[in-house]
Structure 1
């Protein structure tokens, strides 16, 4: 279970780094898209670790809503990434970056909540 906790902690760090990239208006869009793409494989590894861990049914059940919502937010981030790639106006760029930040904030909260559930 320590390994799972370490993975979640690493994911929270990655989310924080990506948040900083999104907030920096001068940051290259390609770097943001690249880092966004890294989030999904990291999350899949966390899900695999959860499935492999000897967790009680109560803990598994408490983690499930966070997993579902995190997966949904990751999909939405992919959509926002496509919008970011094609955005031209400063207003659109700002709006897409704001949406990405909101998704990242939620993902970070889910990861922290999952860590807390693991004890």
Structure 2
């Protein structure tokens, strides 16, 4: 569990496609939304554990939801990533429902920080497409 509260992603120039910086940042913001001062999810799982798999499932879904809300086309990698974490939780047939609920809360939390003008512009662009 990280001891410091910040989001770190490589600079946009590190990505072959600039839009992937936004996708990555939204995924990492999904993790940050779980901090005890925000949505207070259990972030204690280390890599490869069920707790970590569940958190990755939440953030994968949250990233897909926030991308879609902002007009950023989620990639096939989003679905592959989500599917890979579902494989870790095969005996829990309600994991996806619980994760989707928490992902929706995370997406709402993240999107709640956008200025209204950005949301309106995003919606106008989506309607024009």
Alignment TM-score > 0.5, same fold: no
What TM-score do you get using the length of structure 1 for normalisation? 0.33
What TM-score do you get using the length of structure 2 for normalisation? 0.31
